[in-house]
């Protein structure tokens, strides 16, 4: 959906909730994948995705278009839903494939081999939650820095700077392998 068209659809949905359907149809799969990557279970992901859209619908009158895709705002709501769910859990496991980790591995100059991948996994696990979140959004979800900023409630420059700092920390953790 083009930004200009998306803005018009959002305005229509703000005026009449019945016209939220195009946004729901367009972003359902994207948000479901985002949630499923973190929650793991299918039914749970469906519930959290549905809850995300309900919260978005209820908060839509307050939404202000900032020239960024609507999905960034949805990601933010979805993350809040996931955080609420994680409060009840003792451990959170994020399953990833090599293909998903490739952009991060390239950025860190690490080869896609079993040993290196395990080092990345343990390195990510050593990061603080807010640091890990930056890496997830940027490299696993493929968001732009502007979108990462919107999701985390910070500016684009701050998102870029923080991501580079986290990458430096991660490279240190990976140093023995490189």
Partner 1 sequence: MSPRYRISPKGPQKLTDAEIGAHKDGRGLYYNYHKAVKPLYKKPLYRDPRAFVALLIIVLLAILVSEVALKEEQEKKPSATPQRTR
Work out how close the CB of 85 gets to partner 1 at its nearest, in angstroms, rounded to a whole number: 10
Work out how close the CB of 66 gets to partner 1 at its nearest, in angstroms, rounded to a whole number: 24
Q: Which of residues 126-165 bind partner 1 (CB under 8 A)?
A: 127-129, 132
Q: 40-69 mask for partner 1 (x: CB under 8 A)?
A: x-x--xx--xx--xx--xx-----------
Q: Is 18 in the site for partner 1 (CB under 8 A)?
A: yes
Distances (CA, A) of 9 to 16, 139, 158: 10, 29, 30
Contacts made by residues 62-69, CB under 8 angstroms, sequence distance 24+: 63/10, 63/14, 65/7, 65/10, 65/11, 66/150, 67/3, 68/146, 68/147, 68/150, 69/1, 69/3, 69/6, 69/147
Options 64-72, 116-124, 143-151, 160-168: segment touching partner 1 (CB under 8 A): 116-124
Instruction: In whole angstroms, give the CA distance from residue 148 to residue 3.
Output: 17
Pair of tokens at residue 77: 């709501």
Q: Return residues touching partner 1 (CB under 8 A).
A: 17-18, 21, 24-25, 28-29, 32-33, 36, 38, 40, 42, 45-46, 49-50, 53-54, 57-58, 86, 89, 91-101, 114, 117-118, 120-122, 124-125, 127-129, 132
């Amino acid at each position: 959906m083009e930004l200009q068209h998306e803005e018009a659809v959002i305005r229509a949905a703000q005026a009449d909730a019945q016209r939220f359907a195009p946004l729901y149809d367009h972003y359902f799969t994207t948000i479901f994948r985002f949630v499923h990557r973190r929650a793991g279970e299918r039914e749970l992901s469906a519930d959290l995705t549905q809850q995300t859209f309900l919260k978005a619908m209820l908060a839509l009158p307050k939404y202000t278009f900032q020239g960024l895709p609507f999905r960034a705002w949805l990601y933010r709501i979805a993350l809040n839903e996931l955080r609420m769910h994680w409060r009840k859990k003792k451990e959170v496991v994020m399953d990833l494939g090599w293909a998903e980790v490739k952009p991060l591995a390239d950025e860190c100059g690490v080869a896609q081999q079993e040993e290196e991948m395990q080092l990345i996994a343990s390195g990510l696990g050593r990061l603080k939650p807010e640091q890990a979140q930056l890496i997830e959004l940027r490299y696993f979800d493929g968001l732009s820095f502007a979108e990462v900023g919107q999701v985390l409630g910070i500016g684009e420059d701050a998102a870029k700077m923080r991501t580079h700092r986290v990458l430096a920390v991660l490279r240190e953790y990976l140093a023995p392998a490189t």
